[in-house]
């Protein structure tokens, strides 16, 4: 199975379990077909030089152009929107864009009239109604075909002001609709020399990975910011309510790609975590970039090294490599005094990783 289909399967199952009972359709168990975005961290659009039309490439895993008889005529199509901010992977967008889509689904017997609240409609959600703009219109949804995907999608940015945006693709196939965010940010400027328009932007590209506590997390990042800027990296356990904790702090002076070498927090052992970056520019303005995937931190081994706080750089010379990488050779948790110390560290320690920064000149797009 194509890797791009795994997330739609999860969304399909979760949505089916969470949704109230409604009339079933022949497509109920059909895997929704997502937009697959290429990996591109930053896109800077200078409208004083570039045309306001911005092109985005995308692909699809399979063609999906044949709705069943009990689906809406425009089912199995794609639509594109721009969001005013990034979101953590734990925050879901409303599954519907318009009330009209809901009403048409009610008429077809796909949902009950009182089944969908305003919170589940992008146009009506108090969280999102003022935080998105359509790239393609509701009546211009695209067929899910290889030919259409090869043409990409174009955003006429002339209707929006300067700012930092996130682009998302919508698979319309009631009643289980699907969103897929494009990695990275899109920053739009009319005058790059105007500091008022030079808003801070940061993106974090993370692949799903399973790591031992204290092991390195490789996070590819990029920034476009009025420097010097401060970046605060934070982590939180994957949960409905996110409790963000400090991971690292660094200073950035230039625009461009960054390579951040961080370590999985020992306090996060045996859990899935999210990572985000809060960037504050020279004028005190803040923006938040969220990692594109979760990171699984494995449990501390019971029959091997015990998780302990890493030795600060420059200390512990000659004490052996075991005490410098987040684990030391000692009693496993629960066996003797060493186990008790390890347990205390699991509860109390907060690990601060070290970051290595790579910078480059500012192009219009970075991989």
3-class DSSP string for the chain = CCHHHHHHHHHHHHHHHHCCCCCCCCCCCCCCCCCECCCCCEEEEECCCCCCEEEECCECCCCECCCCCCCCCCCCEEEEEEECCCCCCCCCCCCECCHHHHHHHHHCCCCCCCCCCHHHECCCCCCCCCCEEECCCHHHCEEECHHHHHHCEEEEHHHCCCEEEEEEEEEECCCCCEEEECCCEEEEECCCCCCCCCCCEEEEECCCEEECCCCEEEEEEEEECCCCEEEEEEEEECCCCCCCEEEEEEEECCCEEEEEEEECCHHHCCEEEEEEEEEECCCCCEEEEEECCCEEECCCCCCCCEECCCCCCCCCCCCCHHHCCCEECCCCCCCHHHHHHHHHHHHHCCCCCCCCCCCCCCCCEEC
The answer to whether residues 231 and 312 belong to one domain is no
CATH number at residue 249: 2.70.50.70
Average pLDDT, the chain: 82
Q: Does residue 194 lie in a domain region?
A: no
The pLDDT value given to residue 366: 56
- Give a yes or no: residue 170 inside a domain: yes
At 9 the pLDDT is: 45
Summarised one tens digit per residue, pLDDT across range 262-296 is: 899 999 999 999 999 999 999 999 999 999 999 99
Q: What is the pLDDT of residue 260?
A: 84
Regarding whether 27 and 11 lie in a shared domain, the answer is yes
Task: Assess whether 154 and 239 both reside in one domain.
Answer: no
Structural domains counted in the chain: 3
Do 136 and 226 sit in the same domain of this protein? no
Residues 311 and 263 in one domain: no
Q: Are residues 310 and 230 in the same domain?
A: no
Span of 8-12, 31-35, 111-115, 272-276 with lowest mean pLDDT: 8-12
Residue 367 within any structural domain of the chain: no
Q: Give the best-scoring range by mean pLDDT among 3-7, 301-305, 309-313.
A: 301-305
Q: Are residues 18 and 69 in the same domain?
A: yes
Q: How confident is the model at residue 357 (pLDDT cuts 50, 70, 90)?
A: very low
Domain of residue 265 covers 201-298+351-362
Q: What is the pTM of this model?
A: 0.78
Instruction: Return the percentage of the chain with pLDDT > 70, whole number.
Output: 75
Residues 50 and 147 in one domain: yes
The pLDDT assigned to 261 comes to 77
Least confident interval from 236-245, 265-274, 307-316, 336-345: 336-345
Same domain, 28 and 146: yes
- Residue 349 confidence (pLDDT) above 60: no
pLDDT band at 312 (very low <50, low <70, confident <90, very high): low
Same-domain pairing of 318 and 171: no
**Is 360 a residue whose pLDDT tops 60?**
no
**Given this model, what pLDDT does residue 309 score?**
59
Tell me, yes or no, whether 30 and 157 share the same domain: yes
Q: Same domain, yes or no, for 253 and 329?
A: no
pLDDT digits 0-9 by tens, 174-196: 999 999 999 999 999 999 999 99
What confidence category does residue 367 fall into, taking pLDDT thresholds of 50, 70 and 90?
A: low
């Amino acid at each position: 199975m194509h890797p791009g289909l795994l997330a739609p399967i999860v969304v399909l199952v979760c949505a089916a379990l969470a949704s109230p009972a409604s009339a079933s359709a022949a497509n109920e168990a059909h895997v929704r077909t997502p937009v697959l975005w290429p990996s591109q961290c930053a896109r800077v659009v200078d409208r004083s030089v570039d045309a306001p039309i911005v092109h985005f490439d995308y692909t699809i895993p399979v063609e999906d152009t044949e709705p069943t008889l009990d689906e809406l005529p425009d089912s199995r199509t794609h639509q594109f929107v721009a969001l005013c901010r990034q979101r953590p992977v734990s925050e879901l967008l409303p599954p519907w864009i318009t009330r009209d889509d809901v009403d048409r689904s009610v008429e077809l017997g796909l949902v009950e009239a009182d089944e969908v609240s305003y919170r589940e409609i992008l146009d009506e959600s108090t969280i999102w109604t003022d935080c998105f703009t359509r790239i393609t219109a509701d009546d211009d949804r695209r067929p899910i075909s290889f030919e259409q995907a090869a043409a990409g999608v174009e955003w006429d940015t002339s209707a929006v002001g300067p700012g930092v945006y996130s682009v998302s693709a919508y698979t319309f196939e009631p009643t289980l609709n699907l969103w897929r965010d494009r990695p990275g940010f899109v920053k739009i400027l009319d005058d790059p020399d105007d500091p008022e328009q030079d808003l801070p932007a940061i993106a974090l590209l993370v692949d799903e990975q399973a790591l031992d506590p204290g092991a390195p997390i490789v996070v590819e990042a990029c920034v476009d910011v009025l420097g010097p800027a401060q970046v605060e990296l934070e982590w939180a356990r994957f949960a409905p309510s996110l409790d963000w904790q400090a991971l690292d702090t660094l200073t950035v002076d230039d625009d461009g790609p960054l390579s951040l070498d961080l370590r999985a927090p020992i306090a996060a052992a045996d859990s899935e975590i999210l990572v985000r970056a809060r960037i504050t520019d020279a004028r005190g303005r803040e923006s938040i970039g969220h990692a594109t995937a979760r990171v699984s931190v494995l449990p501390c081994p019971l029959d091997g090294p015990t998780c302990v706080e890493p030795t600060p750089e420059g200390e512990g010379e000659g004490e052996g490599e075991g005490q410098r990488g987040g684990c030391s050779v000692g009693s496993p948790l629960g066996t003797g005094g060493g186990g008790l110390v390890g347990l205390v560290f699991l509860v109390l320690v907060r690990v601060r990783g070290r970051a290595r920064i790579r910078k480059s000149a500012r192009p219009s797009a970075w991989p």
